[in-house]
Amino acid sequence: MTARILDGKALAQTIQEEIARAARELKEKHNITPGLATILVGDDPASHIYVKNKGRACEKVGFFSKSIILPQITSQQYLTELIGELNANPAIHGILVQLPLPQHIDENSIINAVHPEKDVDGFHPVNLGKMVLGREDYFLPCTPFGIQMLLARSGIETQGRHVVIVGRSNTVGKPTAIILMQKAAGADATVTVCHSRTKDLPAIIRQGDIVIAAIGRAEFIKADMVKPGAVVIDVGINRIEDFTKKSGYTIVGDVEFEKVKEVASAITPVPGGIGPMTIAMLLFNTLKAAKKTII
C-alpha cells in the first residue's frame, strides 16, 4: 500500500485564502494593510527565486510587499541603517532578511537589528527564547511552524507519539524539536534529535512514528530506515544534476521519495510539501504582526 501524499501546496493555498480574507477584514475595519519588506543582498540565484516567490505570495493575499535588492558590496552599516528605517516605518509590519548574507556581513548582528515585533522569520533571539518558554507573544520560525501546521491540519496526531528529527540546524531541527515537545495542542510528542554524530542512525530513525528529515543531503533517508506506517516529513531541498532538464538540475528532498512512500503511511513530496507551507507561515506571521498594531 502506498502512502498518502501530504499535499503542502494545496494546504498552503487554503491557508493563504484564509489569510487573504483576514487581510481584507483588517483593511475594512482598521485601515491596515499588512506590509512585508524583503531584503536581498548579492546575486545568489536560489535566494533571488525565494525572495521573488515570497513577494508574489504577498501580492496574492493582498499584502503590501516591498522588495529591496542590494549589491554584494553592501556594507554592514548600510544594511543596519536600512533595517533601522524599516523598524520605524509603520507601513511595514514584517522584515525578512534573506540568508545567507555575504561573508563580510555579520549575520548575527543583522538578525539582532530587526525589531523582534517585526521579525516574522522568527530568527531573533527574543523570539526563539519565547518559543522555548512556550509563550504566545512571539513569532515561530516559519519552517518548523509549517511542519506543525501541516501535521495538525492533516489530522496527524502528535501527542504521545515519537517524533524523530534528523538534523539539528538553528532554522529547522532545534526549533522543531522544542515546538513539538511542548505541553500544547499539536505538540506533546516524545522527541529525539539525531544527526551526523549519532551512532546507528537507522535504528534511531526506525523508532519514529513521525520522521522529520532536515539534513540537507539528497535522498539520504531510505525505505529500510523508516518504520512501516510512519509519517515522513521531508524538509530537504537539494539540487542534483539532471541533464534531461533544461535547467540541468532537478530538486529532490532528503528522503528517497519513490521507495519510502511504499513503506510510510503518509509523506510530503519535494517540491510541493514543506516549501509552500513555509511561505504560508511567513504570511501568517506578517498578518499577526499587522494585527498587533490595531489600536
- In whole angstroms, the minimum distance from the beta carbon of 192 to a copy of itself comes to 4
Of the residues 98, 209, 227, 288, only one is catalytic, namely 98
Q: What angle do CA 292, 294, 295 make, to 5 degrees?
A: 120
What is the per-residue binding string for a copy of itself in 110-149, x denoting contact by CB under 8 A?
--------------xxxxxxxxxxxx--x-----------
Of the residues 16, 119, 121, 209, only one is catalytic, namely 121
Q: What angle do CA 50, 143, 71 make, to 5 degrees?
A: 30
Question: Could you tell me if 249 and 242 are in contact, meaning their C-beta atoms sit under 8 angstroms apart?
Answer: yes
User: How many CB atoms neighbour CB 39 within 10 A?
Assistant: 22
Of 58 and 205, nearer to a copy of itself (C-beta) is 205
**C-alpha to C-alpha distance for 279 and 281, rounded to whole angstroms:** 5
Number of H helices, E strands in the chain: 10, 11
What is the per-residue binding string for a copy of itself in 203-232, x denoting contact by CB under 8 A?
-x----------------------------
Annotated catalytic residue 121? yes
Using the rule CB under 8 A, give the single segment among 65-73, 162-170, 253-261, 265-273 that binds a copy of itself: 162-170
Using the rule CB under 8 A, give the single segment among 37-45, 68-76, 168-176, 211-219 that binds a copy of itself: 168-176
Question: Could you tell me if 197 and 175 are in contact, meaning their C-beta atoms sit under 8 angstroms apart?
Answer: no
Annotated catalytic residue 98? yes
Neighbour order of strands in the sheet with 94-97: 64-70, 35-41, 94-97
Is residue 172 close enough to count as binding a copy of itself by CB under 8 A?
A: no
Which has the closest alpha carbon to 114: 132, 99, 97, 139?
97
What is the per-residue binding string for a copy of itself in 11-50, x denoting contact by CB under 8 A?
----------------------------------------
User: How many CB atoms neighbour CB 283 within 10 A?
Assistant: 28
What is the per-residue binding string for a copy of itself in 57-96, x denoting contact by CB under 8 A?
----------------------------------------
**C-alpha to C-alpha distance for 268 and 3, rounded to whole angstroms:** 10
Q: What angle do CA 141, 179, 59 make, to 5 degrees?
A: 30
Q: Which residues bind a copy of itself (CB under 8 A)?
A: 108, 124-135, 138, 159-162, 168, 170, 174-175, 177-178, 181-183, 188-195, 197-199, 204
Point out the residues that are catalytic.
54, 98, 121
